[in-house]
Amino acid sequence: MQTLRTVAELRTRVRGWKQDGRQVGVVPTMGALHEGHLSLVRAAKRGCDRVIVTIFVNPTQFNNAEDLAKYPRTEEADAAMLAAEGVDILFAPAPEEVYPAGFATGVAVQGVTAPLEGALRPGHFEGVATVVAKLFGMTQANRAYFGQKDWQQLQVVKRMVADLNIAIEVVGCDTIREADGLAMSSRNVRLDALSRAQAPGLYKVMGKVAAAIKGGADVAAVLAQGREDLRQAGFTEVDYLDLRSAAMLEPMTTLDQPARLLAAAWIGGVRLIDNIAV
């Protein structure tokens, strides 16, 4: 595996692959890799001839300087994992390579970015869409692999690709969970022992809520009870626990189209997000 830092080097390598008719896959990440990321890499290896993993802690998608500073950075360990998976290129550019002086362009996706994470983290999805569009342009990949754990992000990327006619196939891959149900996340390392023990409560409560909704119970009442159950399970704050249409993320009060139950809640000072199909 080669680690590249500049767009020029990346372009040269990819051009050679494309001339040889190779299909190129990209897995965009912010590093601090875990099994969830590796499952995306494995999907990319199965679906493509060459695989690029990008590691870039994108400053424009953080709306809190402390969160950006605290984001785990473990490039050496990440690189070792990726090499063991047979990744061809690790692209890990410096911030100046991605956002050179004078950078003045942003990608603003409307609609699907408005609720949930978009409402709570102003500017977040513009940062995500902008950097993902740039990474697609830089890598010229044929396929891009994203985890369904960031469900809203996946819908935003799909919308952007459709709207901007970007020639890439976006592949959404299943959420990978710990044995106790906690969705894998780079943020989990920040959980202390008690919070780590309580954190699987999120998935458990969501499972109960989804089952009740599928069983025909009143959606608003079940969601209210679910939020209360999360507080009882040790979550100090529930940003949302909501039933939304799967693609557009519009509020739903009855189960009359494909739906997703999405949640964001705080435990031990760490914000966890998760979602499941209903």
- With CB under 6 A as the contact rule, the residue among 14, 30, 141, 170 that binds ligand PAF is 30
Residue 141 as a binder of ligand PAF (CB under 6 A): the answer is no
Q: Among 16, 34, 28, which residue's Cα sits nearest to residue 58?
A: 28
Q: Which of 23-31, 70-78, 80-88, 191-199 is the region at the interface with ligand PAF (rule: CB under 6 A)?
A: 23-31
Q: Among 204, 196, 206, which residue's Cα sits nearest to residue 268?
A: 196
Active site residues: 37
Residue 131 as a binder of ligand PAF (CB under 6 A): the answer is yes
CA dist 55 and 43 (Å) reads 17
Q: In the block, which residue shows the tokens 């139950």?
A: 261
Residue 128 as a binder of ligand PAF (CB under 6 A): the answer is yes
Q: CB within 8 A of 76, min separation 6: which ones?
A: none
Residue 29 as a binder of ligand PAF (CB under 6 A): the answer is yes
- Going residue by residue from 147 to 186, which x/- string records binding to ligand PAF, judged by CB under 6 A? ---x--x---------------------------------
Size of the site for ligand PAF (CB under 6 A): 10
Dihedral sign for Cα atoms in the order 230, 233, 235, 237? positive
Residue 275 as a binder of ligand PAF (CB under 6 A): the answer is no
Compare residues 143 and 227 and give the one whose CB is closer to ligand PAF.
143
User: 224-263 burial, b if ≥16 CB within 10 A, otherwise e?
Assistant: ebbbebbeebbbeebbbbbbbbbeebeebeeeeeebbbbb
CB 248 within 8 A of CB 262: no
Please report how close the Cβ of residue 133 comes to ligand PAF at its closest, in angstroms: 10
Compare residues 121 and 227 and give the one whose CB is closer to ligand PAF.
121
Please report how close the Cβ of residue 194 comes to ligand PAF at its closest, in angstroms: 27
Q: In the block, which residue shows the tokens 């739903």?
A: 252
Residue 58 as a binder of ligand PAF (CB under 6 A): the answer is yes
Residues at the interface with ligand PAF (CB under 6 A): 28-30, 58, 61, 128, 131-132, 150, 153
